[in-house]
Amino acid sequence: MSDTRKKEIIMATLELAANKGLGNVSMNIIADKVGIKKPSLYNHFASKEELVEAMYQFLREEAKKNANVGAIDYTVIFAGKSALEILRMMVGGYFHMNQQEHMLNFYKVIYSERSIQPMAAKILAEETEKMIIATKQLFYAMEVHKLLHFQNADMSAVSFAMTVHGLMDYELDLRSGECKTENQERNNLDEYLQWFCRENATK
């Protein structure tokens, strides 16, 4: 099986699962989406279970790629910026990355399946842990550069990362549910960043 065809089948399955729910996606539907006959699909994957397992392995590798940002030169990033500008930049980059279509499909599937699929839960746990570690490193650097001050940088990082995660999930729910609320007119995430900077301002 060529890597190109394998990825095509996996991406088709991911898109279908994001739109219909994984339980509603059959091998027939996947074959139609890819544009091949069902017997040809079974030449690549012996069963739907095998295909789903391959999809999760693919998602896990993609998550690792997204988290692998390499070494960060905070001196360059911080130059001439306020604490609020830095947090807006860092959170904004993460937010926009996750708004890409393939990442939205990624999260739709992972979130919907995590309660019944151990692999989905593991991927989410690993993603959250990486986000917390990255936030701790950012806060250590911000404290060294006297941009913010924390009574406990580690716990501040956990609280910050989980709050940002929650607000992003809320935004995704609003969009997916086509909800119209007063909160949509306000940028909850930016208001939180402003509050966080005020609460942890250097003395």
Same domain, 109 and 58: no
Least confident of 11-15, 25-29, 62-66, 143-147: 62-66
**Res 68: pLDDT:** 55
| Most confident of the following: 83-87, 97-101, 163-167, 182-186 | 83-87
Dihedral of CA atoms 82, 70, 162, 179 in degrees, nearest 10, equals 90
- A 10 A CB-CB count for 36 gives 17
- Contacts (Cβ under 8 Å, ≥6 apart) of 50: none
* Backbone torsions φ then ψ of 53, nearest 5 degrees: -60, -40
| Helix-strand-coil split of the chain, %, nearest 5 | 75, 0, 25
Residue after which a domain boundary falls, among 23, 43, 68: 68
CB atoms within 10 A of CB 102: 12
Domain range spanning residue 47?
1-68
Q: What is the pLDDT of residues 130-182, one digit of tens each?
A: 889 999 999 999 999 999 999 999 999 999 999 998 888 887 777 777 675 55
Domains in the chain: how many in total? 2
Pick from 68, 103, 122: which residue ends a domain?
Answer: 68
Q: Are residues 51 and 78 in the same domain?
A: no
pLDDT at residue 116, as a whole number: 84
Indicate the pTM of the whole model: 0.76
